[in-house]
Amino acid sequence: GPVESKTEAAMSELVPESRQKPVVPMKPLGMNANLLGYIGIDTIIEQMRKKTMKTGFDFNIMVVGQSGLGKSTLVNTLFKSQVSRKSSGWNREEKIPKTVEIKAIGHVIEEGGVKMKLTVIDTPGFGDQINNENCWEPIEKYINEQYEKFLKEEVNIARKKRIPDTRVHCCLYFISPTGHSLRPLDLEFMKHLSKVVNIIPVIAKADTMTLEEKTEFKQRVRKELEVNGIEFYPQKEFDEDLEDKTENDKIRQESMPFAVVGSDKEYQVNGKRVLGRKTPWGIIEVENLTHCEFALLRDFVIRTHLQDLKEVTHNIHYETYRAKRLNDNGGLPPMTVETEENHESNL
């Protein structure tokens, strides 16, 4: 009665904290507890898995760095097959490429019933000249051209059900294992391209450095990237929750840049066949964490962050490009003869 309500009011004045707990979030739990049987909402995960397995998915990885840093070998090691050309550089008979070339090689890799259309984009000629001024421009142009291609498909009147995805999801940038500091070219490249693509810096041929040199060099590279305001993947501002932040902070502060060794040759070690590099004093095992960080890089790119690389490319880099293009152009990409013909044929 009224007496009870008075005492309640008096209590609420005395203890205001007790009212802070919201009642609303508790309702779904109560409803859930009273379900009369199994509905089957959880099967959506299996449905999604089946669909993805049928259609497969695209993954496009770009490798950038000077000749002789083992880019092709590392990509072959990552995917355990000959997916990159044996030599992205040049033979003695050939001339050094005058400008940066862009070479994309496509493959279909299947594992456990899952199909992946992998494209490796190589950039021979990058950083090999005496004057390397603006040598990142063809690479930036290529990345933006892929966004443009995707945008044109998206704004078509009759859109394809599944737009072919040629956008670069990941760019492995190879740093020379000098042990000193990053070259101006490295800083300029990453400064220009970190805004348009996910850059993952790696220290190539890490077996040329001692453990102390490697640790020191990694710290110096991290410091230089921070001082120059260069964001590499995984970017801090794109961490979605606390779990992501904790996991990615560990990668940013401890693993990056990955000091790696690549090899597509197998050797026998203690009765087991391992991928490695043979030296006069023993075999460097590529997948052994005490020898190098290749396994960390592979797990990061393929086993934990592959889907996120694709999502950041689509939701952040591509969206930024798309918004800029549509703003500049009053809403739509310019009509070319080709797109006009497409529209007519579609109509």
Are 234 and 251 contacting, i.e. CB atoms less than 8 angstroms apart?
yes
Here the tokens at position 132 are 């390397």
Q: What is the pLDDT of residues 272-303, one digit of tens each?
A: 888 888 888 888 888 778 888 888 888 999 88
Asked if the model's pLDDT at residue 214 lies above 70, the reply is: yes
Q: Print burial letters for 260-284: b (CB count within 10 Å at least 16), e (below 16).
A: bbbbbeeeeeeeeebbbbeeeeebb
- The residues, any chain, with a CB within 8 Å of residue 71's CB and separated by 6 or more, are 63, 64, 65, 84, 88, 122, 172, 174, 204
Tokens 């995984």 map to which residue? 234
Q: Does domain 55-85+96-262+292-329 fall into CATH 3.90.1300.10?
A: no
CA distance 329 to 27: 49
- What pLDDT is stored for residue 340 in this prediction? 53
Of 314, 147, 312, 144, residue with least CA distance to 237 = 312
Kindly report, residue by residue over 69-90, the tens digit of the pLDDT: 888 888 888 887 777 765 444 4
Out of 47-56, 99-108, 111-120, 138-147, give the one with best mean pLDDT: 138-147
Whether the pLDDT of residue 229 is over 80: the answer is yes
In the prediction, which pLDDT does 197 show? Answer: 94
Pairing between β-strand 114-122 and β-strand 103-111 as defined by DSSP bridges: antiparallel
Residue range 162-189: mean pLDDT, rounded? 89
Q: Helical H runs in the chain?
A: 2-14, 26-33, 44-55, 71-78, 137-154, 184-193, 211-227, 242-250, 294-298, 306-312, 319-328, 337-346
Quote the DSSP letter at residue 208: G
**Structure confidence at residue 172 (pLDDT):** 93
Residues 6+ apart with CB under 8 A from 321: 144, 147, 148, 151, 196
Cα–Cα distance measured from residue 189 to residue 173, given in angstroms and rounded to the nearest whole number: 9
In which band, very low, low, confident or very high, does the pLDDT at 344 lie, cut at 50, 70 and 90?
low
Q: Which residues contact 155 (CB under 8 A, 6 or more apart)?
A: 332, 333
Average per-residue pLDDT in the chain? 80
Mean pLDDT, residues 28-42 taken together: 70
The predicted model scores a pTM of 0.79
Strand, coil or helix: 177: coil
Distance, CA of 278 to CA of 263 (rounded, Å): 10
Residue 198 confidence (pLDDT) above 60: yes
Say if residue 257 is preceded by a cis peptide, omega within 30 of 0: yes
Q: Which of 92-101, 173-182, 218-227, 305-314 has the lowest mean pLDDT?
A: 92-101
pLDDT for position 95 = 58
DSSP code of residue 235: P
Mean pLDDT value of segment 237-241: 81
Contacts of 193 (CB under 8 A, 6+ apart): 136, 139, 140, 143, 171, 199
